[in-house]
């Protein structure tokens, strides 16, 4: 990682301010004066000092990714492309990992962070963090389906799901398709697909648009990502 980018991410100053500090011979990496803001370092092992005072390097990353299809939610895989393969090298800090998982063919909002405590809180079953999806369903979703979701769908294997909110966006009877929005507060394996399967329907497409207070940025195209804003980070950290 570039030294100017690292120090900027740590809140030491803007890149222009850091450039000025370098000119004034204030910054060292492993005891050697930095001569250029583009100088590279390993944040996990480098020792950085400003005016001979050590700088604590602890980068916490919070990234919002619009996950595309055919990418797996994993940190590494020998054969398939993972969500971390979509992240630029400068943003690949130690411990960065997806929070939860989306199926290979499911798209939309995915949070990546190296904040393990936050990830645990978001995924803990007793926290009931809401997750909202938009879906195209092969089948006609009606008011009876909405009531069934509200009561808690029993899956084909007998598992009873917690109550979920199902909203009908549109129904095209001639195509036997429905557009819906679903909010669940748990994360069973293939849960939404299995819930609709229990109702005799098939999920054609599934796109996550929200997780807790975090909403998918519509400006992000498939495969694009951005850092969370400070307001978004604080909203997640306030979850209890």
Burial class of 55 by CB neighbour count within 10 A (0 to 12, 13 to 18, 19+): middle
Please, are residues 9 and 58 in contact by the beta-carbon 8 Å criterion?
no
Tokens of 223: 């495969």
Task: Spell out the residues 6+ positions from residue 66 whose beta carbon is closer than 8 angstroms to its own.
Answer: 107, 108, 109, 110, 216, 217, 220, 221, 222, 223, 224, 225
CA distances, 109 to each of 69, 91, 161 (Å): 12, 18, 22
How far separated are the first and last CA of the chain, in Å rounded?
34
* H helix or E strand, kind and range, residue 148: helix 143-151
Q: Which residues are known catalytic residues? A: 103
Sign of CA dihedral 183, 220, 5, 23: negative
Name the residue among 65, 4, 72 with its Cα closest to residue 36: 4
d(CA 204, CA 196): 11
Tokens of 228: 């969370």
């Amino acid at each position: 990682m570039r030294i100017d980018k690292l120090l900027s991410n740590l809140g030491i100053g803007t890149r222009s301010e850091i450039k000025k500090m370098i000119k004034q011979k204030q910054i060292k990496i492993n005891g050697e004066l930095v001569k250029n803001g583009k100088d590279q370092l390993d944040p996990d092992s480098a020792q950085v000092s400003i005016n001979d005072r050590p700088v604590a390097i602890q980068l916490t990353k919070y990234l919002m990714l619009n996950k595309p299809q055919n990418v797996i939610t994993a940190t590494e895989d020998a054969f398939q492309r993972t969500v971390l393969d979509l992240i630029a090298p400068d943003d690949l800090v130690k411990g960065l990992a997806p929070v939860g998982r989306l199926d290979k063919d499911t798209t939309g909002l995915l949070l990546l962070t190296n904040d393990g405590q936050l990830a645990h809180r978001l995924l803990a079953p007793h926290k009931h963090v809401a997750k909202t999806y938009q879906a195209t369903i092969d089948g006609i979703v009606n008011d009876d389906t909405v009531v069934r979701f509200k009561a808690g769908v029993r899956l084909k294997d007998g598992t009873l799901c917690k109550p979920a909110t199902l909203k009908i966006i549109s129904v095209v009877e001639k195509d036997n398709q429905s557009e819906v929005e679903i909010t669940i507060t748990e994360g069973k394996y293939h849960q939404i697909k299995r819930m609709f399967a229990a109702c005799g329907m098939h999920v054609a497409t599934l796109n996550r648009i929200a997780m807790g207070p975090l909403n998918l940025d519509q400006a992000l195209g498939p495969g694009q990502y951005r850092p969370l804003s400070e307001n978004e980070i604080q909203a997640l950290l306030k979850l209890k």
